[in-house]
Structure 1
Amino acid sequence: MPFRFGLQLFSAFFIFIGTFTNRAYRRLSMSPTITVFGSYFPAWAACLMVGIGCAIIAHGVFKAFNFLPALPFPALVYSFTVLLGANTFWLVMFL
């Protein structure tokens, strides 16, 4: 009896994983575009704008808490802030 339950659980797990990966593949196979004022707009550009906005907000937070002198490499910190914001927006909106 326990073997049969384990086999059913194993089968249900692979059916779930197969369904999830099939949906993710179908969604990723499309070109990610956003309709803005009736024209197609590439999604990566929107993600870049959100990432730049995140870097501007981070700069304001660093300045408000007087953390700017303590940043070792500001260009690297802001670049990674842009990447973090853009990738997070991409994951939330398009995946």
Structure 2
Amino acid sequence: MREKRAITESSPVLCPASYPLASLLCLVLMSGCRRAPTFNILGSFFPAWLICMVIGIVLAFAVNRLLVYLKIDKEIVWSILVYPCLAMFFACTLWLIFFS
């Protein structure tokens, strides 16, 4: 009986002195939980990051077509890596321009 009590007393989940710190930590972490930017498209709400991602993919496709037209696309060795990174760059840039 004493061994069980010793184990539970020596390893508390939260000591009473850390309650204010835990409460403050919860408040800080929940401060980002506010209304997310969304767009109403045909009665359905889409998150803004999804719109930025789609526009980023379209812009990366446009850059691909431009590079093909200029015959520079053969110079890109890792195109399977370059174009998704380009789409991500455009999406993040649009997000920062419009929502930061």
TM-score, normalised on structure 2? 0.62
The two structures, once aligned, show a CA RMSD in angstroms of 2.0
Which digits, 9 at most, give the CA deviation of each residue in 1:18-76, with x for residues without a partner?
Answer: xxxxxxxx999431211212321111210110111111111111101101111010011
1:69 aligned partner: 74
The aligned runs of 1:10-89 (5 Å cut-off) are: 29-89=34-94
Which structure is larger by alpha-carbon Rg, 1 or 2?
Answer: 2
3-state DSSP of counterpart to 1:41:
strand
Q: If each structure's helix is expressed as a fraction of its own residues, which one has the higher value? A: 1
1:91 aligned partner: 96
Q: 1:28 to 1:71 in 2, by over 3 A?
A: farther
3-state DSSP of counterpart to 1:72:
coil
Structure 2: which 5+ runs fail to align? 1-30
Bigger RCO (CA 8 Å, 6+ sep):
1
Q: 1:28 to 1:73 in 2, by over 3 A?
A: farther
Structure 1: which 5+ runs fail to align? 1-25
Q: 1:27 to 1:57 in 2, by over 3 A?
A: farther
Deviates further, 28-37 or 56-65: 28-37
TM-score, normalised on structure 1? 0.65
Identical amino acids, percent of aligned pairs? 29
